[in-house]
Amino acid sequence: MKKLANTIMLQGTASDVGKSIITTALCRIFYQDGNKVAPYKSQNMSLNSYVTLDGKEIGRAQGMQADACYTVATTDMNPILLKPKQDMVSQVVVHGKPYKDLDARSYREQYLHTAEGIVKDSLHRLREKYDLITIEGAGSPAEVNLKDRDIVNMRLAKWADAPVILVADIDRGGVFASIVGTLEILTPEERNRVSGFIINKFRGDISLLQSGIDWLENKTNKPVLGVIPYLHHLGLEDEDGASLDMKIKSTQKLEDQLDVVVIKLPRISNFTDFDPLLEESDVHLRYIEHLDDWGTPDLVIIPGSKNTLQDLLYLRETGIEEKLTEYVKQGGFLLGICAGYQMMGEKLLDPHHFESDVSELNGMGLFPTETTFIQNKRTERVEGTTLLHFNDQIHFKHSDPIKIEGYEIHMGTTLFLQPVQHAFQIRLAGNYEHSFHNDGVVSDNGKVIGTYIHGILDNDVFRRNWLNNVRIHKGWTELKETISYKNKREEAFDRLADHVRLYLNMEKVYQIIEEGIK
């Protein structure tokens, strides 16, 4: 029988200490060093998801980590995904498909025992297939009220026979207390499993930290494996909204930049759709939550949401919806993706309350569409071409149709109440036996577009032409250069790996992996 893969686990003293990014860096480093490696996170809570090649939904971070080590992402890498829908209620996604909506107590008391078997089986399959598994924990292992049914931290580490590296965030302060306090709460067996520490997001003079490092190592008899300086402008997607504000350009808008506004919905999902805009030199990207922050945008985007109807009510109550419709009447550019597209129609129907407690709601009335929410969720990778060439108000400088690809994640089906101009023709990615079908709507003046396609802005030629169309309507010259977002992302993986390798004692990390738990 083949020996099961070695394992290493990254746990954190708290949420958002950088576990996902450090895990991503190690995935790329291990791959660079010749290992067949896979990421694993037993249970993830995130509204940023990733669609696998077989049309299943997992956490965005695990998809990114799989990309970092050049392996195909599968649901075994994140068998359970929790997608918050409202306070204390999440949609439970098991092996990429919705299971049911559960509140926190019901999930803990009714489902965790079943979940334990699911995560163990997934981990075992990965350990049979790969040489090394890089495991990411969730939150903190020191949550005493959750430890007895834990499936994401120390109990998982035991099932995986994994040594643990504890990651702490010095940027938020109290780094030594957070490490020592975490160890203090762990049992002796769990404490023994911790093989070292990573101090993350450091800013400053390392020599001023040395006395603290010496104290920590003497106090715990465990090594500090690295102090990782904060890496600015990383260029990789975030797992959830906790660090969304850090991803947005903090610089002032320049005169030659387009002012692009994304409405930061309360239940915003898949905001990684807009990461490519951060790479464009002529774009200044802003996320707004309040009408006072509206300003004078050149382009507005309504993003995806885990609860379309409730977030539409939010836009209505805050006055943002009225501002949006006024903006469109005045000739503004508007893009709606997924939930944003659904909101732009005439009516939203949820008679069986699959998404919210609201049965019916009038939409913004920008498109003659009606969306009904159904139980089955569509999760597919798609490919196709844009149809925007056929709108004579849109200045796309290509004689041939522009190819696009992306993915769909939604529970609603949209009907067209009268003939419309569609934005795209798509089919299942790689499925050449299937014919194309129409997706989305574009207004008569070409300035308002709705689509179900997440990742549409990852398509370089489409993105540049779309931005140039706005520039031309402003009387600006178009930009000729097209940025390769895929290449930028690959460069970011390598830059991250080089950075972490420089400051992390990789020789000691490999020793920890080989020796395991004594």
437 counts as catalytic = no
Q: Are 308 and 302 in contact (CB under 8 A)?
A: no
- Residue 11: what are its φ and ψ, rounded to 5°? -115, 165
Q: Are 137 and 19 in contact (CB under 8 A)?
A: yes
Burial degree of 421 (CB within 10 A; 0-12, 13-18, 19+) = middle
Concatenated DSSP letters of 124-170: HHHHHH-SEEEEE--S-TT-TTTGGG-SSSHHHHHHHT--EEEEEEG
Tell me how far apart the alpha carbons of residues 56 and 379 are, in angstroms, rounded to a whole number. Answer: 6
Write the secondary structure of 75-108 as one string of H (helix), E (strand) and C (coil): HHHCCEEEEEEECCEEEEEECCEEEEEEEHHHHH
Q: Which two tokens stand for residue 490?
A: 């690959």
Q: Are 177 and 26 in contact (CB under 8 A)?
A: no
Tell me how far apart the alpha carbons of residues 324 and 330 are, in angstroms, rounded to a whole number. Answer: 10
Catalytic residue, candidates 284, 338, 410, 422: 338
Q: Helix 320-329 and helix 308-318: axis angle, to 10°?
A: 80
454 counts as catalytic = yes
Q: Which two tokens stand for residue 112?
A: 């965790």
> Which sequence positions are flagged as catalytic?
338, 454
